[in-house]
Amino acid sequence: MSEIHPVDPAFAEKARIRKDDYQRMYAESVQDPDGFWKRMSERLDWITPPTKIKNVSYDPANLHIRWYEDGQLNVAANCLDRHLAERGDKTAIIFEGDDPNETRTLTYRQLYTEVCQFANTLKNLGVEKGDRVVIYLPMIPEAAVAMLACARIGAIHSVVFGGFSPDSLASRIADSKAKLIITADEGLRGGKKIPLKGNVDESLSRPGTNSVETVIVVRRTGGAIHMQSPRDRWYHTLMEGQSTACAPEPMNAEDPLFTLYTSGSTGLPKGVLHTSAGYLVYTSLTHELTFDLREDDIYWCTADVGWITGHSYVVYGPLANGATVVMFDGVPNYPDFSRFWQVVDKHKVTLFYTAPTAIRALMREGDAPVKATSRKSLRILGTVGEPINPEAWNWYYRVVGEERCPIVDTWWQTETGGFLITPLPGAIDLKPGSATLPFFGIKPAIVDAEGKVQEGACSGNLVITDSWPGQMRTVYGDHQRFVDTYFKAYPGNYFTGDGARRDEDGYYWITGRVDDVINVSGHRIGTAEVESALVAHPKVAEAAVVGCHHDIKGQGIYAFVTLNAGETGSEELKKELVAGVRKEIGAIAAPDHLQWAPGLPKTRSGKIMRRILRKIAENAPDQLGDVSTLADPGVVKNLVEKRLIK
Ligand code: PRX
């Protein structure tokens, strides 16, 4: 039996959703999705309210996902304009820089004004509804301004995480055929400068990027950069004198809002496409109920806007709810390991949401940096991105939250738009390490390898049997890839790519990816991408990459590399290869371990048997299973003997 933390009755008494509400509303949401989601849609301001609610088919031959399809609204107007009457002077964004002395706040009215001015700027530069705009910015308010300005005029934004390399940026620009890029001179993280504009310049020298007409540069550090005329323009100059009025573009519910690239098992990252109305209904509702949001809450999600968490739960969900949001441009250990909690005290944060990898990194430093701060304002703690080990959960609960704050372990994905399995803090008893129960409208199921649905307590692959409004609609420019990736493995279901266990109370325990995706510090890295970066080196013949255990990152990257005949492995070459991956993809994809492999275990048809490599990387050579189908069983012996984790 796992440990249970029952809902605190005093918390439940004031909560938005209590136990009986959860049961009643969940039943309604799955029995009458049209009625339930129609009612939930009323939380938004519509130009034309929808009469058609759900129109979905998961049949691979006729796959379509449409919600609220005859409705019209504007996402930015829902995040800004409608708050002006009552919340115009309320703080929308509290910016906390990398340097603790740098703080700036924007009220809803100020944010609205800046978004209107920037929307006009984009229009003047020829950006029109449906055009793609790449955003490559640090965690500064201008990132939210840029996203909302795109939404206001109907341009489709594609935010690229500032840690990605020029090559990764170039491939996203090429795939989206973006007309314009918004960047900053430099980023700042932990006191170090990141050459964002320099990276943009480099990416625009790559083939396939000549769709870009304009680069807008926000002055962040004032560092020296090269401005190429007439392509490059300063944000602050363009904004001068812009009108503060910009009518929001009426958008169809199913018009695209953004694409966000994410890694899968094969090929290049794919552009996950989210549309307007369903996404906003879903992110705002899940945000409000999971964080039991109150008017005076100060909400802080530490995710970068370059990831889906930054889209749904830094920008769109919270701003649609009129919340006060902290945007943090720093790191947990700068200037010291108390930083998170210093920021909590400084801004009286009540709702705090971060990733297990950050919790583990801070836990390693002991309790003192936490206890040096008050944290009295905290009410709810959240986690996301990867399974949280019960030890880290308990430390977060006991030391950070002083056993006063429920922990919401939110399971979801870039593809899902918002939380699918998560506790509602006033309704659902907690078990450390479990994301608990499905959100309204979500019907999870566990299937075996053949697709047979398992009943009761069981484990297997996690699928979702029906749609919800926040679901991705397609892969940008490649609908067939969408169908093939998510709807072919278990026909009639959305396949998550995750394994899960369901216990005797119906609680879900996510066990991690079951495909060739590695979850490093909560970020998805495709093994194929790392392999292709490794084999790009002239001395490399072949590479196979698998995940391995990592105390802080959750999973690390373990690479097996075969060199061309006549080459020998050296420490120097290892460094070169790791540097090559950093350059091609970014630092987050750099292998933690690199083992020279005279040969790789392959089937007779030439397929690399990753199952065996995973066991070697997990230091479990006694669990290799059947190796008799290998073309050359001898290669395994060498790899086991020379394994790097023992
Ligand atoms: O494996 C699951 C893991 O992260 C994957 C989704 O990654 P991404 O699309 O980058 O989105 C991360 C932020 C939502 C999932 O397939 N994952 C995410 N949240 C959890 C999790 N695993 C366990 N518990 C979670 N709370």
Q: Is 33 within a domain?
A: no
Q: Is the CB of 121 under 6 A from ligand 1?
A: no
If one counts the domains in the chain, the total is 1
- Where the chain has pLDDT below 70, the residues are 1
Judge whether 523 lies within some domain: yes
pLDDT on residue 582: 96
How much of the chain is in helix, strand and coil states, percent to nearest 5?
A: 35, 25, 40
Determine the residue of 413, 415, 464, 475 to mutate for testing ligand 1's pocket, defined as the one with the most ligand atoms within 8 A of the Cβ atom: 413
| Residue 148 resides in a domain | no
What range defines the domain where residue 628 resides?
517-642
Ligand 1 atom with the shortest distance to the CA of 387: 23
CA-proximal residue: ligand 1, atom 3 (nearest):
386
CATH number at residue 612: 3.30.300.30
* Interval between CA 355 and ligand 1 midpoint (Å): 10
ipTM of predicted complex: 1.00
- pLDDT tens sequence across 201-217: 999 999 999 999 999 99
Is the CB of 406 inside a 6 Å radius of any atom of ligand 1?
Answer: no
**Residue 414 Cβ < 6 Å to ligand 1:** yes
Edge-to-edge strands, sheet with 407-410: 103-107, 91-96, 324-328, 298-301, 351-354, 380-384, 407-410
Which residue among 282, 313, 384 has the greatest number of ligand 1 atoms within 8 angstroms of its CB, and so is best to mutate? 384
Confidence (pLDDT) at 306 = 97
Does the residue 631 lie in any domain? Answer: yes
Is residue 535 included in any domain, yes or no? Answer: yes
Per-residue pLDDT reduced to its tens digit, 39-95: 999 999 999 999 999 999 999 999 999 999 999 999 999 999 999 999 999 999 999
CA of 48 to the centre of ligand 1 (A): 35
Q: 292: phi > 0 → left, psi -120 to 50 → alpha, else beta; which?
A: left
Q: How far is ligand 1, taken at its centre, from the CA of residue 263, in Å?
A: 12
pLDDT for 1: 57
572 domain residue, yes or no: yes
- Report the residue among 509, 524, 555, 588 best suited for mutation to probe ligand 1: largest number of ligand atoms under 8 A from its CB: 524
Measured CA to CA in angstroms, residue 472 lies from 40, 53, 351, 416, 519 at distances of: 19, 16, 27, 6, 20
Q: Is residue 72 part of a domain?
A: no
| Residues 608-634 pLDDT 10s | 899 999 999 999 999 998 888 888 888
Q: Does the beta carbon of 316 lie inside 6 Å of ligand 1?
A: no
Nearest CA to ligand 1 atom 22: 386
What is the per-residue pLDDT for 645? Answer: 94
Q: Residue 421 CA: which ligand 1 atom is closest?
A: 26
**Which conformational region is residue 557 in: left (phi greater than 0), alpha (psi within -120 to 50 degrees), or beta?**
beta
Residue type, 382: G
- Indicate whether 18 belongs to any domain: no
Model pTM score: 0.96
Q: Which DSSP helix (H) or strand (E) runs through 9?
A: helix 9-14
Q: Is 497 in the pocket of ligand 1 (CB under 6 A)?
A: yes
Cα gap 256→603, rounded to integer Å: 43
Indicate if ligand 1 lies below 6 Å from the C-beta of 290.
no
User: For residue range 222-272, what is the model confidence (pLDDT) as tens digits?
Assistant: 999 999 999 999 999 999 999 999 999 999 999 999 999 999 888 889 999
Say which residue the tokens 């002239």 belong to. Answer: 538
564-600 tens-digit pLDDT: 999 999 999 999 999 999 999 999 999 999 999 999 9
The span from the CA of 214 to the CA of 126, in Å, is 10
Distance between Cα 292 and ligand 1 center (Å): 22
pLDDT at position 265: 81
